[in-house]
Amino acid sequence: MAETNYDLIIIGGGPAGLTAGMYASRARLNTVLVEKVATGGQILITDWIENYPGFPEGISGPDLSDKMLEQARQFDLKFEYGEVEKVELEGELKSITIGDKTLTAKTVIIASGASPRSLHVGEEKFHGKGVSYCATCDAPFFRDKTVVAVGGGDTAVQESLYLTKFAKKVYLVHRRDQLRAAKILQERALSNDKIEMVWDSVVTGMDGLFGVENVTIKNVKTEEETKVAADGCFIWIGILPNTDFLGDALEMDEWKFIKTDSNMATNIPGVFAAGDVRSTPLRQIATAVGDSAIAATMAEHYLEGH
C-alpha cells in the first residue's frame, strides 16, 4: 500500500474514539486520534453514570473520561486537535484535513458522536441566557429558580433529577403521557417533589428581555397554550449525528447516521464507524465501547489483509 502518516486515523475523542485508540495502539498500530475540542464527548457533561460495568457505586462523567484517556495514553496513542474540514476516503490512501494540515492513513474509524437536537422555537437567541442542553454544566446558575425541562428519555429524566439539586422547581414537559426513560429513573422523577410533570405537551416558544423569563407550553391534545414563568429551559429531545463534515462520502440512514455491518465496516473498504454516530438501536457508553473494540480489531485485520 501507499506510504502514509499513520496506519489508522480515529475521528472523535469520546468513549468510542478513546476505546478504539486504546485497542489500536495496544495492537501496535501507528494511530492518531483527532478531536475537535476536548476528549470525553458527551460524558463530559454527564453528571453521574450508574450503568457502566465496573463501577457499582457509579462514577461521574468527567471522572470516567479521565480514566479512559489515561488508559489510552498508556499505549502511546497520538492526538491531533482541530476540526475536520475535508475527508477523502476512497482508495487505499485515506486523507483527513484539519486546517492547513492533512493526515493520511490506510484505515479510518469515525467516532464523531452526536449532538443535542434543538426545538427550533426561537431558543437560539437565548443560548447562554437561560437555554441549555447540559444540566451538569449550567444547573448551578439556577439555584432556587424555576426551570422548564423538555424530553422524556433517560437523559431528560436523569438531568432533570440533577437540576433539583439546585432549582426550586422543575417542570418536565413531555409530548406523551408516559416517560420513555428507564423505570428506575421514572420512579425517582415521579416521586421527587420538585419535579412537576407536564404531560402531552410541547414547548412552542420562549421570551424575555435579557434572558429567558417565560416559556410557552402547548397541550398537543387540547391545543391550549400556557405561558409559564421560568428562568431557564433545558432541552433533551434527542440527538443528531456529527456527520456534516463527511458530506456524502459514506452510506447513511435517513437521519444521517452512518450505516455499518456487524464488523463496524462502512460501505468503503478500510473505513469503520463506532459509537453514537453509527446507525444503531441503542446509544450508550457500553455500546460505544463495544463498537470500538470491534472496529479497531477489524481495522487491524484489514491492514493485515492488505
Catalytic residues: 134, 137-138
The string of DSSP codes covering the chain is ----SEEEEEE--SHHHHHHHHHHHHTT--EEEEESS-TTGGGGG-S-B-SSTT-TT-B-HHHHHHHHHHHHHTTT-EEEES-EEEEE-SSS-EEEEETTEEEEEEEEEE---EEEPP--SSGGGGBTTTEES-HHHHGGGGTT-EEEEE--SHHHHHHHHHHTTT-SEEEEE-SSSS--S-HHHHHHHHT-TTEEEETTEEEEEEE-SSS--EEEEEETTT--EEEEE-SEEEE-S-EEES-GGGTTSS-B-TTSPBP--TT-B-SSTTEEE-GGGB--S---HHHHHHHHHHHHHHHHHHHHH-
